[in-house]
Amino acid sequence: MDGFFSESDRKSYPVVHLDIEAGVDRSYRGTYAHDPRFRPLVRSLSSLRVRALRSAQDRIGLECYEPERFVVRFKDYPRCSHFGASSRPVRAEAGDLHLVTLSAEQFVMGVMNVHDSLVHEFIHCVMREKMGDRPYLAIPKWIREGIAVWGAGQLSELSRNVIADAFLANRDVLSVRREFERLLDKRGNYLMDALLFEYIEVNHGEDSVRFLISEIVAGVEFIEAFERATGLKWHELMFRRDQFARMHFEGILVASGLGEFQAARRLHRLGSSEAAMERLYALVQRRPDSLLTPKAWYWIGKWEAGQRRYDLAAEAFATVVYFFSDHLGLQDDSRYRLAECYSRLNRHHLALEELNRFFEENPSASNELRGDARFFAGYSYFRLGNYQTAVPFLRLATRTSPNHDHEAYYYLSLAHLFAGEIFNSRLAMAELAYRYPCSERLDQLRAQIDRHRRVDKAGGSETLALHDGR
């Protein structure tokens, strides 16, 4: 019996109920169990699990004993959690297992790279199987995670995250470099941990890393194992790792376009919007695959919309939505803004197509964003003459759209009026008068209702004009 399943270890394993089919637990009944995107992804997971397990073994040069014991399941992690995947030994009806847990939300939303996440966790599992749970956990965490990140090929992703965090914090290139220098002295940072193994692979070969891992699994003290694998003393190895790390990060930083991006943001804050947009257009043309390219397109869209150039703004937001779909942090807002641009351009059928996708694919979008989206859905239906369909969207928007509730009351009253519901139209106008007593929209609405009454008394069918300025 291998060390992982030794009797002394297994007593501490949790007991779980699993419904396993082809290495995947089918018992998930959480938030996304009935999401139409979930089932097709689950069906592809069994083959992905096989490939990821094979990759993990090849990468670290260790073979697992019983592949069928490596099982994948889904779980709803708390929304505040940053975890996308984890692994641990468990006991189940099928026996003692290596259980890898994936975040159902990140899986469905496409946030995680599922293959790389599985490889990362399977590396932990294979090494744990070889050594036993307690001996494996006795290895310093920075070594365990460094091997897993290196083996899963997640180094570039973590490097880019440093740049992304810098962008979100509005830091410049110099401060990002200083932050990276501070990271060099930290243990337990996954990026720095993995860079040591990356250095060994680049300068001593992948077999040297596998030899190092085999020494660690055999119980060799870790500093001695590193020195055997590289032929370098520990302090010299750390010095060379730092030099390699600086070169690696500088390459990522230059490729990211962060300096150009920050310059554009600074110009915009100083009021030079046109110059700022020129910088961003130049960035996306010179660096179409840059880390910040989707964010550059997003800000181009916002700034073009601010100049009321909705056709150019729509092109920018469409680029984010359809060419950078893996950037989930931008997807919901960009799709909404794309629909808004179409609506303002009187392309209402296109606006409604995007809004329908927005409501279906972004259930976790903020209430404010969903409220504004309801307004433009109602507005587009109204403009297409579908007054009855527009009413529920506009009514919801009056309560949930903080940016367009004023307009929502106006169009709600008009929708009722054009649908022949005079009483409901007057109620909506009364609500508008109560909330916005000095609004120009109120005067326009009163004029519309009075005109409708005069036309109705005369028995005419004159078309009502809309003084909305859109």
What is the C-alpha separation between 215 and 225, in angstroms, rounded? Answer: 6
What is the C-alpha separation between 347 and 349, in angstroms, rounded? Answer: 6
What is the C-alpha separation between 53 and 206, in angstroms, rounded? Answer: 18
Under 8 Å between Cβ of 386 and 377? no
The DSSP line for 150-211 is HHHT-HHHHHHHHHHHHHHTT--HHHHHHHHHHHHT-SS-HHHHHHHHHHHHHHH-HHHHHH
What does the pLDDT look like over 39-91, one tens digit per residue? Answer: 787 888 999 999 999 999 999 999 998 899 999 999 888 754 556 899 999 98
Where the chain has pLDDT below 50, the residues are 1-3, 6-8, 80, 461-465, 467-469
Give the contacts of 233 (CB within 8 A, at least 6 positions apart): 227
The DSSP line for 216-268 is HHTT--HHHHHHHHHSS-HHHHHHHHHHHHHHHHHHHHHHHTHHHHHHHHHHH
Burial 377-402 (b: 16+ CB within 10 A, else e): bbbbbbbeebbebbbebbbbbbebbe
Q: Is 75 exposed, middle or buried (CB count within 10 Å of its CB: 0-12, 13-18, 19+)?
A: middle
Give the contacts of 244 (CB within 8 A, at least 6 positions apart): 195, 198, 199, 202, 203
Q: Where are the domains of the chain?
A: 1-133, 139-256, 366-470
Length of the chain: 470
What does the pLDDT look like over 394-417, one tens digit per residue? Answer: 999 999 988 888 899 999 999 998
Under 8 Å between Cβ of 2 and 129? yes
Work out whether the CA dihedral 418, 422, 424, 425 comes out positive or negative.
positive
Under 8 Å between Cβ of 382 and 392? no
Under 8 Å between Cβ of 70 and 48? no
pTM attached to this predicted model: 0.64
Q: Is 168 exposed, middle or buried (CB count within 10 Å of its CB: 0-12, 13-18, 19+)?
A: exposed
What is the C-alpha separation between 91 and 9, in angstroms, rounded? Answer: 11
How far does Cα 132 stand from its chain's mean position?
35
Query: Which one-letter amino acid corresponds to residue 461?
Result: S
Q: Supply the pLDDT for residue 462.
A: 44
Q: Is 220 exposed, middle or buried (CB count within 10 Å of its CB: 0-12, 13-18, 19+)?
A: middle
Say whether 335 sits in a helix, a strand or coil: helix
What does the pLDDT look like over 157-216, one tens digit per residue? Answer: 777 777 766 665 666 667 777 777 777 666 557 778 899 999 999 999 999 999 999 999
- Superfamily for the 366-470 domain: Tetratricopeptide repeat domain (1.25.40.10)
